[in-house]
A and B are shown apart, each in its own frame.
Chain A
């Protein structure tokens, strides 16, 4: 296959006009010793039919979670995606455009992102949101750097229950700025130890990171934590699940300073973990320190409403080494998907997604409780919770897989204190009562046979 359209005679003519006799002459600045010898060893060109068949074979070599009964979560969820999302995203006006540098011919992208910013600001109850970050973990890492700049100190407190993968990303970003990350332990119901937190806070603390719900699915007492954090003069950074915000108090209402989260739940395919969508919202005074693009409404010279990128002096293309972040390419198209998702479902449909997820999770919890399965952290969770299965998480997960069920995430390796029997189970609106019964039977040691 080739997507080059110049013909050989075009090329000859162009070389002639350029004033050279061959293509080789154009490479004159490259010493011949540096040149590639021979053809790149990546195989011959494939026809489109061969490409389709090769990719089809690779895709078929996978068994997708979306086609199974999936209780896998931990940041990526199997949710229903309305057809409008794929339709809008497949418009090449959106997917083949670049960053909106020429605002006059990018009003579609700009307005869509402005609407996305609005939805995120409303969901989190914050003053404003940016145009998107790579994913929740990098958004959180940037929020951490931002807090360190605002507070001019280098200590950050995170919950010990934070996803180990997210923690790893925080570590990578913290290392360059010598930021020290301390962990506050969790108590018996899986939420953070407020007493321990109070003792850890000092004038050196730039920020406390709180996940709501936390990685174990548990709902934190955010007001209490917020009070402690602000009393110590630190910033409160909240890592929020967007679907939970339909039912749980939004961070702006308990005085969060910066809010980040993972937008994959908002109409984005699981896609083996990428692309994802990091959102970041903040209080007004911190917007000048925030990373990434911001889209503002304004007027054109005729007084017509329009949209443009703004507060660009924060960004790398202008401030270079003094920029608030190095981010340039973001997740624009994914942010558009999230907007289309939220607008399609609307206020009521989105609430229904949250309600079904939470109620089904609670129903499963009840079933497991009745079947005598151990549930270490109790009922104060949103849609995800920890179960402990005698005989080990791995055996349970393997048993379930045989029945076409992805039972959850084993936690023992990341959180040794929970033991090798602990499994994190996520329930979304896609699960039916029958799915729940099946998982319950599997967890209770029944229904092992096919």
Chain B
């Protein structure tokens, strides 16, 4: 393995990056000075570049090959977006410059917000949250304050058992208590079960649409109605005209929009009665994941909640853009500035490049690819919820258990074949889960190749399971000792010493 940069550059030389100081340094005039060295590297530029290029060679990435991580929407990141996002007129802006100096930036944010509103059927979006989980948090704060302003202290948020872990975690930070709703045998929310679980303490139903099994809730209208009626005992009211009816909502419906890649131009969540949702610009709108971030998790709401969005808001008047810092009802801030602006530029460029028809084409191809791949993978793996899927599906490795092979072995063997593994062991309601999202930018040949490799691995499991237990063997390192790392983690370079964790 590569030595750390500290070993490579402990005593080296580094270059000059600043002009000579034209001010005296002898009288800095402050106390509490640092003594001794920090311990930063001293490495020459060539060795530094070699170090990072060597590290780069040890990463799998989209530009290398298919990345079918379920729920992560690992699509191609157009290179033009990187180029425009790095323009000096965007990258060099300080957030406290005068509005006159940042009209272009404000216009971009304003237009992006309105495009997201159109795509999602919401009345207003705030771009402030910087990640999906951060958007959930902002959304839950909006729900909490909405009830508080109405003088209600509702405590329960209903979360289906197939939900992402961030959902219940975000709920708790806002002082709510999550209550799990079991999925039925079709992998969906059962309206009858929901009716029993929803009550006058229910604040929100937090659902993912399509859900993490890649399924569209076919009873979504009924589900939304039950939640909206939770307090009002109007469940028997019949067909309801949602946009008008929303002013009388009982509880709110929150949609985790992580899977919006399946719905663009097909369903607008706001138009079917979703009250609050977040998007992941780093999924649906093609901004890169950067090995874990930065992302952006804009939060959108219907009209009755618009006043609660985080501040500041971008407003337009007489062709000029400005920032509105206060709003009596707002939840306040979840970020000191406007969110991850650099990510907005990329998402904006992507939306403009594709236009309305292009976004529909994205969702269409995402859905066709997933259904096609499911059909092929189903030849060798269990599919607990067969039938139609949306943009992703969940296979199971449980049919390989009889050979002593687990899903983790399949995942590791895929790495040997030069592919990335799907999301594994999630959602929790599918045993030995392999959650596969092919995304729209992969073409048929790539899907065929992936399915062929999956078939080959299933065959290996039967004929020579040892290969799978040993996998991976072609990667920069093989399976790592996670047990040792958890018992005594080594979290910083100190010559190989770890930190004992028992208290």
A–B contact at 8 Å CB threshold (below): yes
B17 touches A345 (CB 8 A): yes
Question: A175 vs B143: C-alpha distance in the bound complex, in angstroms?
Answer: 13
Question: A399 vs B140: C-alpha distance in the bound complex, in angstroms?
Answer: 44
18 contacts between A and B (CB under 8 A): A4-B365, A11-B365, A18-B368, A18-B371, A72-B97, A84-B49, A92-B61, A100-B292, A105-B420, A177-B175, A219-B32, A248-B30, A273-B339, A298-B484, A312-B486, A317-B165, A321-B168, A328-B166
Question: A248 vs B30: C-alpha distance in the bound complex, in angstroms?
Answer: 9
Segment among A49-57, A199-207, A439-447 that sits at the interface with chain B: A49-57
Chain B residues with Cβ below 8 Å from A117 are: 491-492
The 7 closest A-B pairs by CB, nearest first: A273-B337, A66-B92, A333-B290, A59-B89, A61-B104, A64-B92, A332-B292
Chain B residues with Cβ below 8 Å from A74 are: 96
Partner of B290, one of A95, A293, A306, A315: A95
A6 touches B489 (CB 8 A): no
List B residues 99-150 near A (Cβ within 8 Å): 100-105, 107-108, 115, 118-119, 130-134, 136-137, 140-141, 144
Question: A137 vs B459: C-alpha distance in the bound complex, in angstroms?
Answer: 52
Partner of A355, one of B25, B60, B264, B472: B25
B331 touches A172 (CB 8 A): yes
Question: A82 vs B480: C-alpha distance in the bound complex, in angstroms?
Answer: 35
Partner of A304, one of B33, B82, B345, B477: B477
Question: A399 vs B263: C-alpha distance in the bound complex, in angstroms?
Answer: 51
Known pairs A55-B84, A269-B342; A36 contacts B141 (CB<8 A): no
Partner of B335, one of A115, A135, A245: A135
Known pairs A109-B59, A112-B55, A433-B22; A54 contacts B165 (CB<8 A): no
List B residues 471-502 near A (Cβ within 8 Å): 472, 475-482, 484-486, 489-493, 496, 498-499, 501
Question: A401 vs B22: C-alpha distance in the bound complex, in angstroms?
Answer: 24
Segment among B35-43, B190-198, B225-233, B398-406 that sits at the interface with chain A: B35-43
Question: A271 vs B411: C-alpha distance in the bound complex, in angstroms?
Answer: 38
A105 touches B60 (CB 8 A): yes
A100 touches B291 (CB 8 A): yes
Number of CB contacts from chain A to chain B under 8 A: 704
The yes or no answer to B431 lying at the interface (CB within 8 A) is no
B14 touches A348 (CB 8 A): yes
* Identity of the chain B residue whose Cβ is nearest the Cβ of A78 in the assembled complex: B94
Shortest distance between the CB of B302 and any CB in chain A (Å): 16
Partner of A39, one of B90, B140, B356: B356
A107 touches B1 (CB 8 A): yes
* Identity of the chain B residue whose Cβ is nearest the Cβ of A322 in the assembled complex: B172
Chain B residues with Cβ below 8 Å from A401 are: 98, 101
Chain A residues with Cβ below 8 Å from B472 are: 104-105
B477 touches A128 (CB 8 A): no
Question: A199 vs B328: C-alpha distance in the bound complex, in angstroms?
Answer: 34
Question: A319 vs B15: C-alpha distance in the bound complex, in angstroms?
Answer: 46
Chain B residues with Cβ below 8 Å from A51 are: 80, 84, 349, 352-353
Shortest distance between the CB of A412 and any CB in chain B (Å): 14
Known pairs A91-B52, A359-B21; A169 contacts B34 (CB<8 A): no
* Identity of the chain B residue whose Cβ is nearest the Cβ of A381 in the assembled complex: B30
Question: A401 vs B354: C-alpha distance in the bound complex, in angstroms?
Answer: 39
* Identity of the chain B residue whose Cβ is nearest the Cβ of A14 in the assembled complex: B372
A114 touches B492 (CB 8 A): yes
A347 touches B38 (CB 8 A): yes
Partner of A250, one of B34, B133, B359: B34
* Identity of the chain A residue whose Cβ is nearest the Cβ of B40 in the assembled complex: A347
Known pairs A330-B292, A346-B43; A247 contacts B28 (CB<8 A): yes
* Identity of the chain A residue whose Cβ is nearest the Cβ of B290 in the assembled complex: A333
List A residues 332-374 near B (Cβ within 8 Å): 332-334, 336, 339-340, 342-353, 355-356, 358-360, 362-363
Chain B residues with Cβ below 8 Å from A172 are: 141, 331-334
The yes or no answer to B236 lying at the interface (CB within 8 A) is no
The yes or no answer to B388 lying at the interface (CB within 8 A) is yes
Chain B residues with Cβ below 8 Å from A248 are: 30, 32-34
A 237-262 binary contact with B (CB < 8 Å = 1; else 0): 00000000111111000000000000
Chain A residues with Cβ below 8 Å from B264 are: 40
The yes or no answer to A198 lying at the interface (CB within 8 A) is no
B168 touches A36 (CB 8 A): no
Question: A250 vs B5: C-alpha distance in the bound complex, in angstroms?
Answer: 22
A55 touches B345 (CB 8 A): yes
Shortest distance between the CB of A317 and any CB in chain B (Å): 4
Shortest distance between the CB of B41 and any CB in chain A (Å): 5
List A residues 106-160 near B (Cβ within 8 Å): 106-109, 111-115, 117-119, 121-123, 127-129, 131-132, 134-138, 145
Partner of B165, one of A39, A101, A115, A320: A320
B132 touches A329 (CB 8 A): yes
Q: How large is the interface on A (under 10, 10 to 19, 20 to 34, 35 or more residues)?
A: 35 or more
Chain A residues with Cβ below 8 Å from B333 are: 165, 168-169, 172
The yes or no answer to A178 lying at the interface (CB within 8 A) is yes
Partner of A95, one of B291, B479, B489: B291
A 6-43 binary contact with B (CB < 8 Å = 1; else 0): 10001101110111100101111111011110011111
The yes or no answer to A188 lying at the interface (CB within 8 A) is no
The yes or no answer to A419 lying at the interface (CB within 8 A) is no
The yes or no answer to A227 lying at the interface (CB within 8 A) is no
Chain A residues with Cβ below 8 Å from B395 are: none
Segment among B245-253, B441-449, B460-468 that sits at the interface with chain A: B441-449
Chain B residues with Cβ below 8 Å from A75 are: 336
Question: A68 vs B169: C-alpha distance in the bound complex, in angstroms?
Answer: 43
B342 touches A128 (CB 8 A): no
A272 touches B105 (CB 8 A): yes
The yes or no answer to A391 lying at the interface (CB within 8 A) is no
Partner of A28, one of B267, B339, B388: B388
Known pairs A40-B118, A272-B105, A320-B169; A102 contacts B216 (CB<8 A): no
Shortest distance between the CB of A342 and any CB in chain B (Å): 5
A108 touches B58 (CB 8 A): yes
The yes or no answer to B88 lying at the interface (CB within 8 A) is yes
List A residues 267-288 near B (Cβ within 8 Å): 269-276, 284-285, 287-288
List A residues 373-388 near B (Cβ within 8 Å): 379-382
List A residues 300-330 near B (Cβ within 8 Å): 300-302, 304-308, 310-313, 315-323, 325-330
* Identity of the chain A residue whose Cβ is nearest the Cβ of B356 in the assembled complex: A40
B32 touches A429 (CB 8 A): no
Partner of B485, one of A61, A91, A298, A382: A298
